[in-house]
Amino acid sequence: MESQFQFDWQAAIDSIPFLAKGIPYTLMISFGGLVIGFLLGILFGLLSINKHWYFRWPATTYIEIFRGTPILVQVLFIFYGLPDLIGGPIDPLVAGIAAIALNSGAYISEVVRGGVQSIDRGQTEAGLSLGLSRTQSFWSIVWPQAFRRMIPPLGNQAIVSIKDTSLFSVIGVGELVRQGQVYIANTFTAFEVYFVVALMYLAITLSLSMVLRYMEKRGRASV
């Protein structure tokens, strides 16, 4: 049977202003969560390589829990489960940011651990021979080198987290997918609307990729 479907370009164009309202929420959730996640990643990444087990175990537990469970389950637990514990509702935007922060933080912890451990121990010894303390040697010598190596995987995690925000329509966050769902309910132009939503996500992730490639080149040039 021959399909009678024809792509309606006008419907796609008309949907852009409405869908664009979701971009600020998508960016706010993803980048807000990633900033917090990066801080969590540094903390738990460094704790996971600490020589004392009572620092390593809590870090390892956090990392395994949030890397081993789907982010959709995590955001549903935060939004629907935690209110029973704290005795009050949680704003969908806050729940989304928290989910991205906790989830990305677990993955970034592994990036931090791998980046730091990839630096030869002789770098620390060189710092000590110059009269620096271990802490000074780490932040002045080891960390800058490790961070340059972390940029590509950190960029990958940022892109993954941006795409993960599309799952948060289930809790009513007004991000891109949620805006698309609302628009489709009124216009019944699902194919065209989701096509535009996909292009918007692609534009965001490609822009981020270009920035990250520029940072990588700058990092290599400064070595």
- Tens digits of per-residue pLDDT, 89-119? 999 999 999 999 999 999 999 999 999 999 9
Task: Give yes or no for residue 1 having a pLDDT over 80.
Answer: no
For 20-222, which CATH superfamily applies?
Answer: MetI-like (1.10.3720.10)
Task: Give yes or no for residue 3 having a pLDDT over 70.
Answer: no
pTM over 0.85: yes
Q: CA-CA distance, 5 to 87, in Å (whole number)?
A: 50
Q: How does pLDDT run across 150-192, given as a tens digit for each residue?
A: 999 999 999 999 999 999 999 988 899 999 999 999 988 999 9
pLDDT band of residue 47 (cuts 50, 70, 90) is very high
Nearest to 97 by CA among 24, 3, 23, 26: 26
Q: CA-CA distance, 116 to 88, in Å (whole number)?
A: 40
Q: CA-CA distance, 108 to 138, in Å (whole number)?
A: 18
Angle between helices 190-222 and 9-20 (to 10 degrees): 60
Structure tokens, 49: 């390589």
Average pLDDT over every residue of 187-211: 94
What residue segments make up the domains of the chain, in order of their start?
A: 20-222
pLDDT band of residue 21 (cuts 50, 70, 90) is very high
CB 109 within 8 A of CB 44: yes
Q: CA-CA distance, 200 to 162, in Å (whole number)?
A: 11
- pLDDT value, residue 57: 96
